[in-house]
Structure 1
Amino acid sequence: HLAAHGEFDELNPLFSSLWLASSNPNNRRLTVKEVFKLDIRADLITLSACQTGLGKLEAGELIGLNRAFIYAGTHALISSLWRVDDLATSVLMKHFYRNYVTMDKAKSLRQAQLLVKKQFPHPAYWAGFSLVGDYK
């Protein structure tokens, strides 16, 4: 689970990134280009950040963080399709992980979204996260 600031680069999607805390200002971002080079053996990666599920079609391939993490080896990924609210996202993630103890990934996310929808009715608060890859 990565909770950070996400940024989609429409001009060059290989430089879309997660902004990570670092004392070195030159090494604060984890880019799509860097993720492609990783060897990740994870059942699920959750990117709790803005715009992490966006991609751009280049030479017939969709390039973005989703594709990079799947290519790097994760079986499934939860990411966002737009800028997300911090409070609503933290509530959603709390419910997702509580549900995930007894449900598969897809059901856990759906139930979490339905619960958040009660507190934050506008879809901008709860509908932005999607699951890619193995739903179980």
Structure 2
Amino acid sequence: MRRAALQRVFTPLPGTAREARLIAGLLGVTPLTGPAATKSALRRDPPPTILHLATHGFVRAESDGPTQRVTAGLGLAGANTPDADGILSAEEITHLDLRGTRLVVASACETALGRIHDAEGAFGLHRSFAIAGAAAVVASLWNVPDRPTARLMTRFYRAYLRSGSAPEALAEAQREAAAQNRPATEWGAFICHGTP
């Protein structure tokens, strides 16, 4: 996993800083950005009611002879260091304690993708958050653009704070973006798993 992660450099995403500030303002919390956005910050007790992660996501297939292995993860602070300590893998996510977390939003590329297992669906980041205890997970099916995603997520949280329903809020935010003639590539990637 670390070897594959080291082959990628995670570049800054200016839109995510804006996204963090806007959403933190809506939720009345202080965002953890830059060097403060670490894996250890996710191991809070008690776990957060809402966990929003705006960063790089990845799904990578590696072949080792006849065996193909799929890894998924998020790039947090320290992801570009030699030991890739800031890579949060799908497996590591399953060991977080997110019981009591009503909603996780993985606002990053390809967070709903993963390895397909017979009759069980995809094992990826969204499933890892569910295994960790999150009631609902919003994740993406493909690469998402930085700034438009920040707009979509701001719309989503405004709707979520009104309705308390992640699926309804996501649908409302997506309808609003579509009504403004935004391309589907800007808003169509996100889906919601689970029910808060």
Tell me, yes or no, whether TM beats 0.5. yes
* 1:44-92 deviation line (CA, Å, top 9, x unaligned): 0000000000021246543211111101100000000000011110000
Aligned match for 1:68, one of 122, 128, 138:
128
Tell me how far apart the structure 1 counterparts of residues 188 and 55 of structure 2 sit (CA, whole Å): 19
Tell me how far apart the structure 2 counterparts of residues 89 and 23 of structure 1 sit (CA, whole Å): 21
* Aligned partners of 1:66 and 1:79 also within 8 Å: yes
Superposed, 1:1-136 pairs within 5 Å as 1-11=52-62, 12-13=69-70, 15-22=71-78, 25=81, 26=83, 27-41=85-99, 42-58=101-117, 61=120, 62-103=122-163, 104-134=165-195, 136=196
Provide the identity percentage: 36
User: By how many angstroms is 1:107 displaced?
Assistant: 1.3
**Unmatched runs of 5 consecutive residues or more in structure 2:** 1-51, 63-68
TM-score (norm 1): 0.89
**Unmatched runs of 5 consecutive residues or more in structure 1:** none
The range that moved more, 44-53 or 18-27, is 18-27
**Root mean square deviation, CA, Å:** 1.8
Distance 1:24 1:90, change over 3 A: closer
Moved over 4 A (4+): none
* 1:85-131 deviation line (CA, Å, top 9, x unaligned): 11110000001111111112111111111112234532111110000
User: By how many angstroms is 1:22 displaced?
Assistant: 2.1
TM-score (norm 2): 0.63
Aligned amino acid, residue 74 of structure 2: L
